[in-house]
Amino acid sequence: MTEVRAAPPVSRTALRICPLCEAGCGLEVGLSAADEVVRIRGDRNDVWSAGYLCPKGPALKHLHEDPDRLRAPVVRRDGRFVEVGWDEAFAAAGRLLGRVVAAYGRQALGVYLGNPNVHNLGGQLYVKPFVKALGTRNVFTASTVDQRPKEISSGLLFGAPLSVPVPDIDRTDHLVLLGANPVDSNGSLATAPDWPGRLEAIRARGGRVVVVDPRRTATAEMADEHVAIRPGADPFLLFALLNVLAAEGLVDPGPAGPYLSGLDDVLGLAAPFTPEAVEPVTGVPAGTIRRLARALAAAPTACVYGRIGTTTAEFGTITSWLVDVVNAATGNLDRPGGAMFARAAIGGANTRGAPRFGRGVRLGRHRSRVRGLPESLGELPVVCLAEEIDTPGEGQIRGLVTVAGNPVLSTPNSDRLDAALAGLDAYVAVDPYVNETTRHAHVILPVPSPLERGHYDVFLSQLAVRNVARYTPPVLPRDPGTPDEWEVLARLGLVAAGVEPDAADPALVDDEIVRLTAAAAVADESSPVRGRDADELIAGLGDRRGPERLLDLMLRTGPYGDGFGARPDGLTFDTLLAAPHGVDLGPLEPRLPDVLRTPSGMVELAPESLVADVARLRAALDDRQNGHGMVLIGRRQLRSNNSWMHNVSILVKGKPRCTLLVHPDDADRLGLVDGEPAEVTSRAGAVTIPVEVTKDIRPGVVSIPHGWGHDRPGARLGVAGRYAGVNSNVLAEDDRFDPLSGTAVLNGIPVTVRPGELPAGG
Ligand SMILES: Nc1nc2c(c(=O)[nH]1)N[C@H]1C(S)=C(S)[C@@H](COP(=O)(O)OP(=O)(O)OC[C@H]3O[C@@H](n4cnc5c(=O)[nH]c(N)nc54)[C@H](O)[C@@H]3O)O[C@H]1N2
Ligand SMILES: Nc1nc2c(c(=O)[nH]1)N[C@H]1C(S)=C(S)[C@@H](COP(=O)(O)OP(=O)(O)OC[C@H]3O[C@@H](n4cnc5c(=O)[nH]c(N)nc54)[C@H](O)[C@@H]3O)O[C@H]1N2
Ligand code: SF4
Ligand SMILES: [Mo]
């Protein structure tokens, strides 16, 4: 029995930016005299989130207190995890990885970086140097099951992968969302807290919200119009919108016009994609498409925004591209109320170097060993991870490091990856949990709870709908002798590079990063410290070390920085400490052409590789006219966060959430009954899952949320194990991906569905 006791009184409060999703809400943590977390609520004074939070924010208390969360490193001995001290753990990690390198070379190492790397300071500032220290090209991340198509299209169009135009939701008159459900996901590649309130505000000021989604989501529920498109059909719809805009003389690029190149070329490519031609493929009536196009052109300001339903799809990169082309063609690129560029206080590639002109992005510089798939932005597609581990031969991955990832639940053909991980000679995980993936590790190095770490959203501020700078210091002290995540990464990088564990001092790495950052700043023509002496700047940073010193350096040399005296009113780390609720840097402002880093100095709207891929889309237009079987899509749930919050009982309890959404017509036809099991089969595998019959999904489409399937033996997730659900990525196929980006198709997987039987005892 759990003992019920009254919560102790709050004796102090502390602030913490929530690291769980892109909204980055400011939280206020109430602590007792004994430093127990009493409650967590939204910080009403936060300049960014003004008190907003979702049910996951308060769950930071439960994550912090979770008895399953690792507090000390573990190593595997005779098939069991045994707690060891930090020195011993690093020695073991160094020995294991060192053996692989000695026998097979550095290319026998692989690394997988998961989503939380962009949500904590250690990952954001120290993971790149860590990967460099491993010295391998076998770099995999969650990006190729996520936003990589958008990074590639943005890189090609604007010159930098994170120059992603975000919807100016606070000023737009007309927002069209494709494949996004921000009311449940809290938004992505458009960092903003309180999407429900912001969508409501668009309508309250007389604007219009349109949701294009095969499912009637909570976001669609709030919208003026819901267009239930067929999965994977967004590029056809977008081309048809361009087709109508061109045919009806509605193209007007507005203020961005002088900086656009290739618009006419893309409009030419749209010619075959008439509303009538795409109607059978999209399932959207031609009349609706015409109406949508005219409404976009007529609105005083408008913005099309696409998210995971459009990127984890067969034509993810084309779709990501066309979203921006439609915005450009309607005069909405880079104007208030349209799609705009953030101007982050630190870390922005589009505020460094010469304005307007740059090298752009280079893709396909090397290829994966087994299938020969091209790299992008220094990474290989994660659809090749399993085969690179389980296919013998020179260059086979025999040693792996995962940092903040759970690819067994989050990447395609999971069963194969699961089996492959079991055969590794060395596997070191940096992760606070023994989960479906890390259960295969030989060494697990945990990281402190979010409440024990400082925070700044370096990555997400590149994608914010308003410019702010915020830092929150650790709420609680770490246990003495427990390293922060940056120290874990720094020390692991050193031992992996062959340094003796005793000599592997994280300060060496920290000093080196600061030295390189300062050297880059003084050489950068956009920096307020251009031409200064790097050593003098470093000396000016004082006694701080670790992320705080690095943040100070980046802030001071960034676009709002004090430039070490050059702009006395500018930002420093001390400014942020003095403004605990954040510093508001104002609404987004037009940034063309200076935001560009393209070779031509123009927005390159018709890049060669994208134009070339249109042939594949045209072929698909003909292929798909008839014969539609059932297809599987995913969904996100407010009380869930990818795979790793299911161990928090207040979030998972209640009726089962991992269900198969089926339209009543399909249920009747297929003999499926609400609450009864169905067997869902793809080319990759099969799962048995309870049916949830609902009119909210388009006929012919079924939906399973990802991140579930906590029934694998050996994981240490007491709560999650009781609410296991099924792993939807058992169904995702590792040979179905967008060729330009290597991004897996997670939405639009052909499946068969029939009544199923739950396994005995299940
Ligand atoms: N079918 C399907 N699959 C999908 C998706 C989908 O829509 N459908 N979505 C995809 C997307 S968008 C994403 S981003 C991926 C996510 O894929 P992953 O990043 O592989 O998975 P997560 O579930 O985010 O796992 C995060 C891991 O990080 C650990 N962790 C949490 N915080 C920290 C920290 O601060 N430091 C460290 N070192 N570890 C930490 C957790 O314990 C957990 O093991 O899933 C993808 N997979
Ligand atoms: N609560 C919660 N919040 C999260 C996460 C989470 O797991 N839980 N994960 C975080 C992460 S890592 C990410 S990347 C973001 C993602 O944020 P979102 O992209 O907003 O995430 P989803 O809710 O999966 O929304 C995708 C929508 O696309 C629809 N869809 C599927 N296929 C298609 C298609 O072919 N065309 C169109 N037009 N729509 C399609 C789905 O029905 C779904 O409603 O969310 C983040 N926030
Ligand atoms: S929306 Fe929820 S999970 Fe996301 S940052 Fe805010 S409180 Fe955290
Ligand atoms: Mo994601």
HSE value, Cβ hemisphere, 13 Å, CA-based, for 270? 27
Answer positive or negative: Cα dihedral of 550, 551, 552, 556. positive
Number of H helices, E strands in the chain: 25, 33
Question: Given a cut of 50, is residue 762 above it in pLDDT?
Answer: no
Domain 168-344+601-612 has CATH 3.40.190.10: no
The mean pLDDT value for 174-203 works out to 98
pLDDT in tens, 318-333: 999 999 999 999 999 9
For residues 429 and 685, what is the distance between their CA atoms, to the nearest angstrom?
27
Tens of pLDDT, residue by residue over 435-461, are 999 999 999 999 999 999 999 999 999
Q: pTM of this prediction?
A: 0.98
DSSP string, 37-79: EEEEEE-TT-TTTTT---TTGGGHHHHHH-TTS-SS-EEEETT
Task: State how far the Cα of 294 lies from the Cα of 563, in Å rounded to an integer.
Answer: 48
Give the residues surrounding ligand 2 with Cβ less than 6 Å away.
21, 115, 146, 178-182, 184-186, 188, 212-215, 217, 229, 231-232, 234, 307-310, 313, 633-638, 640-642, 747-748
Is 53 touching ligand 3 by the criterion CB < 6 Å? yes
Q: Classify 294 as helix, strand or coil.
A: helix
Q: How confident is the model at residue 622 (pLDDT cuts 50, 70, 90)?
A: confident
Residue with tokens 């993810």: 316
Please tell me the predicted confidence (pLDDT) of residue 3.
60
Testing ligand 2's pocket by substitution, the residue of 181, 323, 382, 751 carrying the most ligand atoms inside 8 A of its CB is 181
Q: How does residue 5 score in pLDDT terms, banded at 50, 70 and 90?
A: confident
Which ligand is closest in space to the CA of residue 446? Answer: 1
Would you state the CATH architecture of domain 12-65? 2-Layer Sandwich (3.30)
Confidence of residue 758 (pLDDT cuts 50, 70, 90): confident
Distance 180 CA to ligand 2 centre (A): 5
Residue 139, CA distances (Å) to 259, 443, 446, 644 in order: 35, 19, 21, 22
Spatial separation of the C-alpha atoms in residues 45 and 713, rounded to whole Å? 45
What's residue 761's pLDDT? 46
Distance 522 CA to ligand 2 centre (A): 41
Nearest to 528 by CA among 551, 555, 510, 509: 555
User: Rounded mean pLDDT of 207-228?
Assistant: 98
Which residues make beta-bridge pairs with 213?
Answer: none
- Tell whether ligand 3 has an atom less than 6 A from the beta carbon of residue 450: no
In the predicted model, what is the mean pLDDT of the chain?
A: 97
How far apart (Å, rounded) are the C-alpha atoms in residues 687 and 597? Answer: 46
How many whole angstroms separate alpha carbon 346 and alpha carbon 327? 27
Would you state the pLDDT for residue 4? 66
**How would you classify residue 60: left for phi > 0, otherwise alpha for psi between -120 and 50, otherwise beta?**
alpha
Q: Would you tell me how many other CB atoms lie within 10 Å of the CB of residue 11?
A: 13
Cβ of 146 less than 6 Å from ligand 1:
yes
**Overall average pLDDT of the 220-226 stretch:** 98
Ligand 2 centre to CA of 23 (Å) is 14
What pLDDT is recorded for position 6?
84
**For the residues 70-94, what does the mean pLDDT come to?**
97
**Could you tell me if the CB of 644 is within 6 A of ligand 1?**
yes
* Residue 17 Cβ contacting ligand 3 at under 6 Å: no
* pLDDT of residue 580 exceeding 80: yes
* CA 34 to ligand 4 center in whole angstroms: 37
The pLDDT tens digits for 536-551 are 999 999 999 999 999 9
Res 1: pLDDT:
47
Point out the ligand 1 atom lying closest to the alpha carbon of residue 731: 1
**Looking at the domain that runs over 74-140+362-587, which CATH code has it been given?**
3.40.50.740
Whether pLDDT at 509 is above 60:
yes
Check pocket membership of 25 for ligand 3, CB cut-off 6 A: yes
Closest-CA residue, ligand 3 atom 2, reads: 54
* Ligand 1 atom, smallest distance to 435 CA: 44
Rounded distance from Cα 39 to ligand 3 centre (Å): 15
The secondary structure element, H or E, covering residue 260 is strand 260-261
Q: Which of 145, 146, 188, 459 to mutate to test the pocket of ligand 2 (most atoms within 8 A of CB)?
A: 188
Buried b / exposed e along 257-275 (16+ C-beta atoms within 10 A): eebbbbbeebbebbeebbb
CB of 485 sitting under 6 A from ligand 1: yes
Which ligand does the CA of 409 lie closest to?
1
Task: Report the nearest-CA residue for atom 5 of ligand 3.
Answer: 24
Distance CA 531, CA 528 (A): 9
Q: Relative to the alpha carbon of 43, which ligand is closest?
A: 3
Q: Whose CA is nearest to atom 6 of ligand 2?
A: 641
Domain boundaries, the chain: 12-65, 74-140+362-587, 168-344+601-612, 628-755
Q: Say yes or no: CB of residue 476 within 6 Å of ligand 3.
A: no
Domain over 628-755 is classified CATH 2.40.50.140: no
C-alpha to C-alpha distance for 593 and 498, rounded to whole angstroms: 46
Dump pLDDT digits (tens) for 724-744: 999 999 999 999 999 999 999
Number of the ligand closest to the Cα of 192? 3
The verdict on the CB of residue 185 being under 6 Å from ligand 1 is no
**What is the number of the ligand closest to the CA of 212?**
2
- The pLDDT value recorded for residue 393 is 96
Ligand 3 contacts CB of residue 444 (under 6 A): no
**224-242: per-residue pLDDT in tens?**
999 999 999 999 999 999 9
Ligand 2 centroid, distance to 308 Cα (angstroms): 5
Residue 688 contacts residue 679 (beta carbons within 8 Å): yes
Q: Measuring from atom 32 of ligand 1, which residue has the nearest CA?
A: 116
Crossing angle (nearest 10°) for helices 275-282 and 234-247 = 160
Distance 701 CA to ligand 4 centre (A): 22
Q: What is the identity of the amino acid at 677?
A: P
